[in-house]
A and B are shown apart, each in its own frame.
Chain A
Amino acid sequence: MIQNRLCNRRYSWKCVSDFGRAATARRKIDVLAMSWKAGLRVAARRVTGAFGLVPVVLLLQLGGCATTRVEQSRQTNAVLGTGEAMVILGRATYNDRETEESFTDCLADILSQGSNPIRLVSEDQFKDDLYPWFEARTAPTNANDLGRLFAEAGVQAQIDQSSIRYLAWIEGDTVTVDKGGSMSCAVSTFGGGCFGMSYWEQDASYEASIWDLKNLSASGQISADSNGTSYLAGLVLPIPILARPGNAACKGLAAQLRVFITGVDD
């Protein structure tokens, strides 16, 4: 039996000032939350064991849901001025986990659109213009290095020319934390199809560190954590029910980043 509830459609964030005063604000925004995960897992196991049509049909009525939590810590109150731009950079590492290019692309797409678009300099353009100072090996690791970097010939002039005020370093990734169920597909001369069900739970965790290139200091951090379970139901045709926590984290982070940078919600 499937026990499910509708998605709560809410997430929250917490603002912490640099003076140690924790001002907590919770707002309801259009990001889905899920609490019927366990129920669906039971259903997945049942369907895998003895295929039943009703649970699958019920599942198809639902969409994949993800819970997103966004937190912000702010050190300065400066906002983007007229004509000033921002650049979003994915932090590159030499280990096996790295911020996906698709995530920074998603952020850039959202921030450059809407009723309150932010002027963005593309990551490729920025890295080319400032080569070799922002390669994986040479990029500054904290805002304290900015002073030394800006003392290098041409760096300050290049930043001024592009009118880049803020730099947002994005760190984090999406990982699969759990998976189960099974599905098999077969093709024969009489046709084919897929039967069974599988699920996988993903956890997306990202953090944006915002640096002010005018004051050569760190402005704050925003983190977004999202969790969701996706399902693949095989009812002759494989039918995916995707939660897309990475996308939910992107939307949550982009919304908060916009408020942080411009001081205005979209």
Chain B
Amino acid sequence: MKRFKINRVKWSLRAFSVTVLCALLASCTHTLTVSGRIPTPLIEPLPVSIGLIRPPEFSTHIHREKLPRGGGDWTIELGALQNAFFENLFDTVFQGVQPVDTLGCRAEDKSIAVGVRCSDGFVRLSLLEYAFLPPELSGLKFFSASTKYQLELMNADGAVLDTWVVVGYGKNEGGGFQPTDALNAASVEAIRDAGARVALEWPKRRNVQTWLDSVGVKNDPKPIM
């Protein structure tokens, strides 16, 4: 009877140790699907229509990273939110947006969509880089994240008129017990920041202005605050 009791205690201790070990291992692996609100920009749309080109991986982008010094393994699904965010953004920035896979306005396209005029140009949007930094590595109190996008403007014939790389930055106070929540908020802020720059700064670029002039849009750029 005594031996049975000792064994029971021993097995309980072992089970407890295994549970603690599993919990510690699980805490080193973080999986996050970035989610957040998608605001509609309060801006006047440019009276042009564009074809929006995004690489297939834009909507499915997953960032995987193993951080040094015990920072853990991170899997961050960014694609779905950034895709929905920029779809909504471009729908507001331009009067007409048509998601397309190919460049140019071909004769067969015109015949298929009778009565629908070709786009005035094309914008290719791609994510160049996503990066993040937890408080343990930065020494600061917050998670920070950055998104680097490239916007390529092409005319109706597919000639590249402008290439612009825009970086968005976001940060959020890192709660020790909710690292994924803090990183989610920082990532959403980084996407919003990049989106704000696209909405306000991109139309004021010289090459974009020239393109707008060429398609007959009178655009009066206002200074950004």
Residues of A within 8 A of B (CB): 94, 96, 98, 100-102, 124, 127-133, 135-141, 145, 148-149, 151-155, 158
Contact = CB atoms under 8 A, between A and B. Distances in A.
Contact of A132 (B37, B41, B169): B41
B140 A96 contact: yes
In the A-B complex, the 4 residue pairs with the smallest Cβ-Cβ separation, listed nearest first, are A132-B196, A131-B39, A128-B39, A153-B44
Interface in B123-171: 140-142, 169, 171
A76 B213 CA distance: 46
Given A128-B37, A149-B225, A155 B193 contact: no
A137 B197 contact: yes
Contacts of B171: 98
Nearest to B199: A132
Interface residues of B, number: 25
B42 interface: yes
Given A96-B141, A129-B42, A132-B199, A145 B37 contact: no
Interface in B89-108: none
B43 interface: yes
Contact of B200 (A132, A151, A155): A132
B225 A131 contact: no
Interface in B175-225: 189, 192-193, 195-197, 199-200, 222-225
Interface of B: 37, 39-44, 140-142, 169, 171, 173, 189, 192-193, 195-197, 199-200, 222-225
A140 B199 contact: no
A94 B169 contact: yes
Contacts of B222: 148, 151-152
B39 A127 contact: yes
A155 B173 CA distance: 30
Contacts of B197: 137
A100 B173 contact: yes
22 contacts: A94-B169, A102-B173, A128-B37, A131-B39, A131-B42, A131-B192, A131-B195, A132-B39, A132-B42, A132-B196, A133-B42, A135-B193, A135-B196, A136-B193, A138-B224, A148-B225, A149-B225, A153-B42, A153-B43, A154-B42, A154-B44, A155-B42
B203 to A, nearest CB: 12
A111 B42 CA distance: 28
Given A124-B37, A155-B42, A141 B225 contact: yes
B145 to A, nearest CB: 13
Given A132-B192, A138-B200, 20 more contacts: A101-B173, A129-B39, A129-B42, A131-B39, A131-B40, A131-B195, A131-B196, A132-B200, A133-B42, A135-B196, A137-B196, A137-B197, A138-B225, A148-B223, A151-B222, A152-B42, A153-B42, A153-B44, A154-B43, A158-B42
B119 to A, nearest CB: 23
Contacts of B200: 132, 138
A131 B189 CA distance: 12
A155 B189 CA distance: 21
A119 to B, nearest CB: 22
Contacts of A130: 42
Given A96-B140, A148-B225, A131 B41 contact: yes
Contacts of A131: 39-42, 192, 195-196
Contacts of B40: 131
A113 to B, nearest CB: 24
A211 B10 CA distance: 67
Nearest to A124: B37
A155 B196 CA distance: 15
Contacts of B224: 138
A149 B225 CA distance: 8
A98 B39 CA distance: 24
A9 B44 CA distance: 54
